Structure formats: structure tokens, C-alpha cells
Amino acid sequence: MRITDVQALYLRLPEIKARTDSSQDALLVRVETDAGITGWGEVDGCPWVTKAVIDAPMSHSLVTGLRALLLGEDPLDAARLWSKMYESTLYYGREGAVIQAMAGIDLALWDIKGKALDMPVWKLLGGRYRDKLRVYSSNMFQFTPEETADRVRIAKDTGFTAAKFGWEPFGQDPKTDCGYLDAMRKAAGDDFDLMLDVGLIWDATTTIQRAHLFEPYNLAWIEEPLHPDDLAGYRRVADHITQRLAAGEEECTLRGFRRLIDEGGVGLVQVDLTRCGLTQAMRIADYAAQRGVMVANHNFTTDLNTAASLHFLASIPNALILEYCVEPSEISRNLAKEPFHMQDGYMTVPDGPGLGFEPNAETIEKFLVGQI
């Protein structure tokens, strides 16, 4: 079997709001083969840049677009092709956008392998430790504590046992923050996990002070209070707070996660499959397991990300919980022909061949944006 085409498809809502909400658009990767099998991947990055990284022609042997590298290759060789892409993009790659584009292709290659062998991807990753994942409702903070508490009630009423809230307008001052958490905890009751995603806005001292102040609200974790480059700050926070410290969604490589774990001291790494790919995510999870660190996914995009995350978290021993974005973007909700559903707080790991995701052609047609 040979790769015959690699395409980047950009879907976008008609109106994009200036919020930290990456469910407003989506970059899909489609890999075609001469066996008639199509693999699907996704990249949560900067869509036009991802598309350019895939489409670019070769400049020279260390600066090559990914499509040109893959045509004619065997799609079952995901690990070797990862190395080929990494080495052939060395002058402009190694981190960030190029690794994210590689991740989308890597997901599509695993999808092809599963379809070719008629097996679910979790089987190819070494077998599953569990057939369903506990899932949490992932939300943006609303603009008042009461509206945010309403979101907690909705999550609880629909069967979730955990919910996370993140980013603006949280974090501006201690009194307002406690007002939010108090309303959320009252709405949640005691038997419900609440997680906080701070959104990179504090320094280490502020984080330590707030974390102590927040102890009565029993947060299951505190996520990304600091800028991802402030590893010394993360280490200081990890050494001084009782809550679990979570981070990782900006990282794309094992190297980045090693720094977070070894230098930053985080207790939960959050791997976005659409930024790391499955080949590398398995190595990240293995490294985390060696260091006694738990793993969750990061997912604020589509059901393709959900599918990849389910296979990944099913196949590693140190999985904590599945993130599922409940922000109501039409692209997120309607992209899969058969959307994933939570039942009684859990999501079932797909059993069909490949990733278990097929896109809805109508959604692609409705939101597809043309060439630059």
C-alpha cells in the first residue's frame, strides 16, 4: 500500500470571536492510499500555517513540505515516517507548527493501519487497559459566577461527574475568584470533581497564595497557572501547593513533556493528540509512567480528537480522565457521522477498525474555507 495524497482541509465558523476557544475552526488532514483506504487526522494549531507546512514544496533536504515527503511511502510505517518528517524539516521544525502538522498526519496513518488490518487503534497500540474512560465536561468560564454555576448544574444533570472551567474572566482578584468557586462548589455538591484551568496569567507567588485560598473548594487539579516557559515557577508551585498541578497542552514533543515533568514537577500531563500524534504520545505516556505522573488528554476541538484520545487513554496504564469540550461550536458537534456520547459519566472506547471516526461530508462542505 502506498500514500497517494495528503490534504489539509480548513473548516471555519462564519464568525470567529476573540476568546480562547479553539472549537471555532478545525484543520483536518486526509491521507489517501492506492488501496482505497482513507485516513483522517486533525491539527489544533494555526490552520493556515499547518496547511502551508503540509503543502509546501521542497526547498532543500532539511526544508521540505510534508506532503512531498510522504507521496509513495508505505502508510503503515508511522514511526519511520515520523523520523523522516522530523529530519527533513530540521531547519524550520523540531517544535511547534511543524510537529503539530506531523501529528495530524500521524493520526491519519494510525487510522489507515487500523482500517487496513481491520482492528481498532487501541489494539495496535498494545491493547487496552480499560474499555471506557471517565469523562469531564470542559467549559469556558462564563461572565458571572451564577452563569458558571448554571454550567455546573447542566454538567451534573446530564450525567457528568466532573467539570473543568477555564480562562477569562477568572483570576483577576482573590475575592472575585472565590465568588466563582463558591458558586460552582455549591452547585456541584460534594460528590463532583471540579477542576480549574487558570489560563497562564499568574506568577508562582500568586499561584501559591491562591491555591491555599482555594483549598476549601477541593479542586481536583489546578491547570496552567503560569506561562509554559516558566519551569522554575512550576517547580516552586508544585513544591508548595496541595492540589495536583496540571500542564502540557502547549507541548508537542517528548522533550517538552520531559522538561515539564523533571524541571516543572507537574503531577498531571495533558497531551493533545492533535499536537503530538499517537506515535509520540505513547512515548510521552511511557516517560510519565516511569516518573509516576498521570496522563490526561487535551481536547478543545472535534470528535476526531475525542476518538484519538479515547484510543490513547485506553492503551496506557497511567490515564486519569478524558477531557470533552462542551462548548457548542457547530463544527465540533456535527463533524462526526456518529458523534461520541457520554453515558453515566463515561465514554466508550471505539471498537471498530481504525480510529472509529468518519467525517460528516455535509459539515465539511458547509464550513470548508477555500485556498489562501
Find, among 204, 230, 299, 232, the residue nearest to 222 by Cα. Answer: 204
Q: Pick the catalytic residue: 240, 298, 311, 341?
A: 298
Site string for Mg ion, 29-48 (x = CB under 5 A): --------------------
| Shortest CB 223 distance to Mg ion, Å | 5
State the nearest-atom distance from the C-beta of 140 to Mg ion, in Å: 10
Binding segment toward Mg ion, per CB under 5 A, in 19-27, 93-101, 116-124, 191-199: 191-199
The enclosing H or E element of 322 equals strand 322-325
The answer to whether residue 323 forms part of the interface with Mg ion (CB under 5 A) is no
Q: Is the dihedral of CA 75, 77, 82, 88 positive or negative?
A: negative
**Cα 326 off chain centre by:** 14
Q: What gap in Å lies between CA 168 and CA 185, rounded to an integer?
A: 19
Measured at CB, which residue is nearest to Mg ion? Answer: 197
For Mg ion, the closer of residues 139 and 279 by Cβ is: 139
The CA distance from 111 to 93, in Å, is: 24
In the bound state with Mg ion, the residue whose beta carbon lies nearer, of 108 and 321, is 321
Looking at the chain, the number of H-run helices and the number of E-run strands are 15, 12
As a whole number of angstroms, the distance between CA 248 and CA 269 comes to 5
DSSP category for residue 45 = S
- Grid cell 522538561 in the structure block, residue: 259
Q: Report the nearest approach of Mg ion to the CB of residue 167 (Å).
A: 8
State the minimum distance, in angstroms, from the CB of residue 62 to Mg ion.
Answer: 33
Contact between residue 235 and residue 267 where contact means Cβ atoms under 8 Å apart: no
Give whichever of 20 and 176 is closer to Mg ion, judged by the CB atom. Answer: 20
- Tell me how far, at minimum, the Cβ of 164 lies from Mg ion, in Å: 8
Minimum CB distance to Mg ion, residue 25 (Å) = 18
# residues contacting Mg ion (CB under 5 A): 1
SS3 state at 237: helix
Distance of CA 32 to the CA centre of its chain: 24
- Cα within 13 Å of Cα(300), Cβ side: 21
In this complex, which beta carbon is closest to Mg ion, that of residue 160 or of residue 167? Answer: 167
Beta bridge partners of 212: none
> In terms of CB distance, is 44 or 197 closer to Mg ion?
197
Instruction: Output 208 or 296, the one with its CB closest to Mg ion.
Output: 296
Instruction: Measure the CA dihedral 240/246/247/248, to 10°.
Output: 140
Backbone angles phi, psi at 133, to 5 degrees: -120, 135
- Least Å distance between CB 60 and Mg ion? 37
Does 197 contact Mg ion by CB under 5 A?
A: yes
Is 25 or 197 the residue whose CB approaches Mg ion more closely?
A: 197
Stretch that binds Mg ion, among 79-87, 178-186, 197-205, 322-330 (CB under 5 A): 197-205
Place of cell 482500517: 115
| Catalytic site includes residue 240 | no
Q: How many CB atoms lie within 10 A of CB 334?
A: 18
Does 272 interact with Mg ion (rule: CB under 5 A)?
no
Question: Among 31, 9, 2, which Cα is nearest to 277's?
Answer: 31
Q: Which residues bind Mg ion (CB under 5 A)?
A: 197
What is the set of active-site residues? 298
